[in-house]
Amino acid sequence: MSSKEKNSVTILTESQLSSRAFKDEAYEFYKELRKSQPLYPLSLGTLGKGWLISRYDEAIHLLKNEKLKKNYENVFTAKEKRPALLKNEESLTKHMLNSDPPDHNRLRTLVQKVFTHRMILQLEDKIQHIADSLLDKVQPNKFMNLVDDYAFPLPIIVISEMLGIPLEDRQKFRVWSQAIIDFSDAPERLQENDHLLGEFVEYLESLVRKKRSEPSGDLISALIQAESEGAQLSTEELYSMIMLLIVAGHETTVNLITNMTYALMCHNDQLEKLRQQPDLMNSAIEEALRFHSPVELTTIRWTAEPFILHGQEIKRKDVIIISLASANRDEKIFPNADIFDIERKNNRHIAFGHGNHFCLGAQLARLEAKIAISTLLRRCPNIQLKGEKEQMKWKGNFLMRALEELPLSF
């Protein structure tokens, strides 16, 4: 989006927010919004009218605001409810990310015991083995595409083993995940995504049948057991929960590993500092999460009760979308916000969200990134971008900040 376009646009659309052009210039656009229009109007097609939030303090407030709901059924009356855009929507949307208390608490409780500090630390050796195995395959070539060869397979292997799903299906998950996070109501995209989601539902049905007859010690078997014990988990909630764990279990981490590596490649002083002081790794990860937040925009929140923000009435049924990426570059919170500084102090970023919906897998993502980046720098001391940083392309995607590829030589 050019400066002229930014000045002339009064309402942003979903297609603009999802475009590569927007991703390329988003940070400058957000900076202008924080200064002059922190509540920015959106047109979201069948979802209706929306507002984009760009400042940190308001993001924190709204992420905890009980007037905003994740489940649209808690906002719309029976007559007002929109028809499902996708035939398979109901089978894949009944998860905790789209729920409010008390349903959210019930669903989160079913899986949060797997993501305790102790359980995550027990995965450390396994993650290290995966990282080394992936680098063993590419190191003789002195080249790799970090996304395909390392950043994607590492977390998908981890979450696949936790859930108890076959590793040979991981490439299918990549396609299905993109269909799920590809926020669009364009007719041709809807048709394609609905077909892909139909494939995903069929896969889940087959997987659940197998787990019912041959349960094991994995997380899916535990969820099926919870479902069989009564009203704790419906079939739709079961499918939706498995889908969420597969998608959320790798998408954020793929982008964290990729975006952090990219930031280090673009800031040689910070890369060398990290090489010389590896104890800065945890701080570097937090700065990477802030600087190129893996999740750029939150999923939608519906306004259940009207309220006033910046003199503007936010009406019932309005959509609120929060730019985590913008909040994490807010100059009032982060001095020199556009500078990548792995020694940044008091780094209160919200890359994993805030409030009830704070990312359940945040600790696992941090551990995977720590092992992935540490191993990469240790085993490939001469690593560098293959090509110019200006040639790297951000994906056109509504929710995520993700590079299409990251070619590296070493």
Per-residue pLDDT at 379 exceeds 80 = yes
Instruction: Give start and end residues of each alpha helix (H) in 3-113.
Output: 3-8, 14-17, 20-36, 56-63, 89-92, 103-112
- pLDDT of amino acid 47: 85
Strands 319-322 and 49-53 come out as: parallel
Residue 82: pLDDT band (50, 70, 90) is low
Q: What is the pLDDT of residues 332-377, one digit of tens each?
A: 999 999 999 999 999 999 999 999 999 999 999 999 999 999 999 9
Percent composition of the chain: helix, strand, coil (DSSP 3-state, to 5)? 55, 10, 35
Q: What is the pLDDT of residues 126-185, one digit of tens each?
A: 999 999 999 999 999 999 999 999 999 999 999 999 999 888 887 788 888 887 777 666
Residue 134 token pair: 């992936």
Q: What is the pTM of this model?
A: 0.92
Which string of DSSP letters, residue by residue, matches 116-133? SHHHHHTTHHHHHHHHHH
Q: What is the pLDDT of residues 88-118, one digit of tens each?
A: 666 778 899 999 999 999 899 888 888 888 8
Q: What domains does the chain contain, in order, with CATH numbers? A: 3-409 (1.10.630.10)
- pLDDT of amino acid 7: 45
Residue 188 token pair: 């041709």
